[in-house]
Amino acid sequence: MMNAVLVDDDIEMLEMLSHLIDWQTYGFSISGKYNNGENALKSIGEEKVDLLVTDITMPAMDGFELARNLRKINPEMNVIFLTCHEDFSYAKEAIQIGADDYLVKYTLTKEKLIESLNKMSIKYNKRNNMNEKINRYTEEMNENRNNFKESLLYSIVKDLTQDIDGLSEKMSLYQIKKPSHSYCLIGLYVNYNERILIENGEPQKKLWRYEIADIISEELNNNGITDEVFPYDKYVIILHEWSTLDKTFSVKYKNIIEKICNIINETMRMRLAICVSDTYDNFWDIKKGIVDLNNRKMAPFYLKGKIELRRDDVTKFTVVSHEIFDQLNERFKIAFRNGENFIEEMDKLCVEIEKKNYNPDIIRKLFQLFLFSIYRETIKMNKSVNEIPLEDASFQFCKDALYQQYDWYIGNYKEQLNKNYNDDIKSILSYVDENLDKPISLQGVADSIYKNSSYLSRLFKQNIGMSFTDYLIKRRIEMASYLLTETNLPVEEVGRRVGINNVSYFYRFYKRETGKTPKNNNS
């Protein structure tokens, strides 16, 4: 629907014009009626007008001046001039302004107005179609350019650049310039993706990485900065040419990067972390820069608050031994089993982890294991939830992901899970899920809770409706199917996580119970 404005100092003419036809039938919505150009301009402000139908001769501001002013807001606005004069001088000025039609009031009929509006609609639609084509072409060009940029860096990093001249020619084709001075790489990557928590799953990485690259390029260009921006792997990389001898970032540049991070946080709900490489002179040394970024990217893991653009030394983190890892995991298990003080206990654990400055990669694996324990409880209740990936995540995101999943579990299902069974049955179910990656027997369960195995066998069948052995098989299959479908774990690892270390046996076991091979289920 085109947005139309009517302007005429003759009130009767103005009312007649607005009621002469049903404007909406012809694709127009009248957004305003005004008795002179000055009132129209003040009321319209910065609003975009698609069609201006205006008298020429009016007090305060005539139609010509009004059209000129509104064209500054929307250069593509269509204009129909109304006049009582057939004097050529009026028509000549209307032509100079770029009028789309010129109607004489005393010969104006319903049919002539409709004919004129139909012309405007055709122009509007053609213009929109052309703009859509231009936008689509621009988007395709940007995506192709981003694809080439990513392929270029991949080729350099993987040492696939035998044809240097050919790559340089393609760079010229895509208007990608090599640095003429010393440069560094600024690596921006998402370490808190709120969309994962909201959507309960990960958006397509390639699409959001390209989107971030486009936002950064546009903002830099708007500020007269010609740094090249490359999407690559987990990063969006800015190739920043040093303009100062001391190779420091200007206050202006820091403010621009901060603004970019805020824009991406507000529009895409993603928080960025930043790492900066050493300085290089040769464009083809960009491989060294990317290696350097990878060495520095763990630095912001525990960082809170404002992200600053600065070049830090490679951070030293505390090594996490297998013993410490198991101790931390056991503390989670105890807190999860007890339930009531889970948040308080996990808060204490997180404070200790941060204070010890443990290695981020190991802590992410630890929290992934925590989440996995909650997933297992979810599956036990015939419910499922998408896995939240913690790769490159900040410590804050790891904590928020864990607390969100725990709150979801508690709020919706824990009461339902516990209310139907006595303590012995609950103990058996918990034991199975907590030890699913180990050999399990009913006798082992009985020994762990100091009960007679025969008694537990009868009790389990009465409450669950199947034997303990059948239930154990069912749980192993449910967990294996979940892991095969929702994760990228290899089949061997899936088998190990459900207590079957022999991969050949796991294939036969899974095929016997489901009629599919594990590989088929994962494809």
- pLDDT at position 142 is 61
Question: pLDDT-derived band of residue 513, with 50, 70 and 90 as boundaries?
Answer: confident
Pairing of β 183-193 and β 270-280: antiparallel
**Angle formed by the axes of helices 205-222 and 110-157, to 10°?**
100
The first and second tokens of residue 358, run together, are 């443990």
| Contact predicate 361/191, CB 8 Å | no
Question: pLDDT-derived band of residue 334, with 50, 70 and 90 as boundaries?
Answer: confident
Q: What is the mean pLDDT of the chain?
A: 83
Question: pLDDT-derived band of residue 380, with 50, 70 and 90 as boundaries?
Answer: low
Nearest of 293, 295, 274 to residue 191 by alpha carbon: 274
Question: pLDDT-derived band of residue 228, with 50, 70 and 90 as boundaries?
Answer: very high
Buried b or exposed e, range 356-382, using 16+ CB within 10 angstroms:
eebbbebbbebbbebbebbbbbbbbee
Question: For a pLDDT cut of 70, what percent of the chain falls above it?
Answer: 87
Give the mean model confidence (pLDDT) for residues 80-109: 75
Question: Would you say residue 350 has pLDDT above 90?
Answer: yes
Give the mean model confidence (pLDDT) for residues 257-264: 90
Give the mean model confidence (pLDDT) for residues 457-470: 82
Question: Would you say residue 103 has pLDDT above 70?
Answer: yes
Element (H, E) at 235: strand 235-241
The torsion defined by the Cα of 124, 130, 134 and 140, in degrees rounded to 10, comes to 120
- pLDDT at position 137 is 54
pLDDT in tens, 305-329: 666 777 767 778 999 999 999 999 9
Q: What angle do CA 62, 68, 70 make, to 5 degrees?
A: 100
**Could you count the other beta carbons within 10 Å of the beta carbon of residue 483?**
24
CA distance 474 to 121: 65
- pLDDT at position 522 is 46
Pairing of β 235-241 and β 183-193: antiparallel
The first and second tokens of residue 359, run together, are 């290695």
Question: Would you say residue 209 has pLDDT above 70?
Answer: yes
Question: Would you say residue 146 has pLDDT above 70?
Answer: yes
Q: Please identify which residue in the block is written with the tokens 């350099």.
A: 156
| Contact predicate 40/66, CB 8 Å | yes
In terms of phi and psi (left: phi > 0; alpha: psi -120 to 50; beta: otherwise), the region of 159 is left
Choice between 203 and 106, residue whose per-residue pLDDT is larger: 106
**Could you count the other beta carbons within 10 Å of the beta carbon of residue 119?**
14
Q: Please identify which residue in the block is written with the tokens 């049919």.
A: 111
Choice between 173 and 89, residue whose per-residue pLDDT is larger: 173
CA distance 96 to 518: 74
Amino acid at 192: Y
Question: Would you say residue 523 has pLDDT above 60?
Answer: no
The structural domains of the chain, ordered by start, are 2-129 (3.40.50.2300), 177-296 (3.30.70.270), 326-522 (1.10.10.60)
CA distance 441 to 7: 87
Give the mean model confidence (pLDDT) for residues 232-243: 90
Question: Would you say residue 401 has pLDDT above 60?
Answer: yes
Question: Would you say residue 252 has pLDDT above 80?
Answer: yes
CA distance 289 to 280: 8
Give the mean model confidence (pLDDT) for residues 198-217: 71
Question: Would you say residue 88 has pLDDT above 70?
Answer: no
| Contact predicate 442/424, CB 8 Å | no
Question: For a pLDDT cut of 90, what percent of the chain falls above it?
Answer: 23
Give the mean model confidence (pLDDT) for residues 442-465: 85
In terms of phi and psi (left: phi > 0; alpha: psi -120 to 50; beta: otherwise), the region of 201 is left
- pLDDT at position 140 is 57
